[in-house]
């Protein structure tokens, strides 16, 4: 018999947590509740869930801090995180997704929508995960060690920028629309505006530096393309 997917609910409001837990339980999930950051960490250390529902404002450390920590930990970095929060501004959404959340739901929310999004992150496959090193010109990305370098100089990227660059490098010289990038990098379950892509492209260029950042071209009216700026330079994939 297949085990029910486990969902860790990190929420300090007991009424909301109970509502979520009841609906999850009635729809084939195994909910566990943590009301603060310390309890959430203990639960995660004990048993790895299939999905984490994470509130932003918590006693102790914030949900944003927890998301960043869990994404940086090899044991927890692959666990899908859905942020549940009353903070609905676009800057907050970007911050949540940039911290490593896979999805972002603003309170108040529909329990039907929440269940649909939980199912979606469980169905979703990691976007174009290719092992080994991919290189385009002087730019190199190692998906196994999470390292990026340009002309042998290490670059520091956030988790979303890393995924974005990884996709662009493995599909170099092609033009990708904002909608395509949202689908391939964030996943088709994420309901965010296309201009959010522009924010992350800007951050990626800044993190790459003036020279390497120029490799990401804006194609007016179409989207973005990563190029080596050399017709002879083709992306190489080494395993």
Residues 115 and 142 placed together within one structural domain of the fold: no
What domain count does the chain have? 2
pLDDT at 188: 55
pLDDT, residue 159, reads 82
Query: For 33-37, 40-44, 97-101, 212-216, which range has the lowest pLDDT when averaged over its residues?
Result: 97-101
Residue 235 buriedness (CB in 10 A; 0-12 / 13-18 / 19+): middle
Answer whether 178's CB lies under 8 Å from 223's CB.
yes
128 within some domain:
no
Domain membership flag for residue 193: yes
State percent of the chain over pLDDT 70: 88
Indicate whether 84 belongs to any domain.
yes
Confidence label for 2 from pLDDT (cuts 50, 70 and 90)? very low
**What pLDDT, on the 0 to 100 scale, is given for residue 202?**
93
| Domain end marker among 91, 123, 155 | 123
pTM of the model: 0.56
| pLDDT grade for 213, boundaries at 50, 70 and 90 | very high
1 belongs to a structural domain: no
* pLDDT, position 232: 35
Verify that 232 and 149 share a domain, yes or no. Answer: yes
* 163 in Cβ contact with 103 (< 8 Å): no
- Res 90 pLDDT > 90: no
Q: How far apart are CA 84 and CA 87, in angstroms?
A: 9
Residues 168 and 104 both lie in one domain = no
Higher-confidence residue of 121 and 190: namely 121
105 and 159 share one domain: no
HEC-encoded secondary structure of the chain? CCCCCEEEEECCCHHHHHHHHHHHHHCCCEEEEECCHHHHHHHHHHCCCCEEEEECCCCCCCHHHHHHHHHHCCCCCCCCEEEEECCCCHHHHHHHHHCCCCEEEECCCCHHHHHHHHHHHHHCCCCCCCCCEEEECCEEEECCCCEEEECCEEECCCHHHHHHHHHHHHCCCCCECHHHHHHHHHCCCCCCCCHHHHHHHHHHHHHHCHHHHCCEEEECCCEEEECCCCCCCCCEEEC
* pLDDT at residue 234 is higher than 50: no
Rounded mean pLDDT, 133-143? 90
Domain limits at 173?
133-238
Residue 93 lies in a domain: yes
Read off the CATH number of the domain in which 45 is found.
Answer: 3.40.50.2300
Q: pLDDT digit string (tens) for 214-228?
A: 999 999 888 999 998
Residue 221 lies in a domain: yes
Give the CATH number of the domain where residue 142 resides. 1.10.10.10
Do both 19 and 111 map to the same domain? yes
């Amino acid at each position: 018999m297949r085990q029910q997917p486990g969902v860790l609910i990190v929420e300090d409001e007991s009424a909301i947590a109970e509502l979520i837990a009841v609906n999850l339980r009635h729809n084939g999930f195994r909910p566990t509740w943590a009301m603060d950051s310390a309890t959430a960490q203990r639960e995660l250390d004990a048993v790895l869930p299939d999905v984490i529902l994470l509130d932003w404002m918590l006693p102790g450390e914030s949900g944003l801090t927890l998301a960043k920590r869990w994404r940086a930990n090899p044991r927890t970095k692959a666990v899908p995180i859905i942020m549940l929060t009353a903070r609905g501004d676009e800057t907050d959404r970007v911050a949540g997704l940039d911290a490593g959340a896979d999805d972002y739901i603003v309170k108040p929310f529909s329990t039907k929508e929440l269940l649909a999004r939980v199912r979606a992150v469980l169905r979703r496959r990691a976007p174009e995960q290719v092992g080994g090193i991919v290189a385009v010109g002087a730019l190199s990305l190692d998906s196994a060690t999470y390292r990026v370098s340009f002309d042998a100089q290490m670059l520091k990227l956030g988790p979303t920028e890393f995924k974005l660059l990884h996709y662009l490098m493995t599909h170099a010289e092609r033009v990708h629309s904002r909608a395509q990038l949202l689908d391939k990098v964030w996943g088709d379950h994420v309901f965010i505006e296309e201009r959010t892509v522009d924010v992350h492209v800007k951050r990626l260029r800044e993190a790459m530096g003036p020279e390497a950042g120029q490799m990401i071209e804006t194609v007016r009216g179409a989207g973005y393309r990563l190029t080596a700026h050399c017709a002879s330079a083709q992306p190489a994939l080494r395993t």
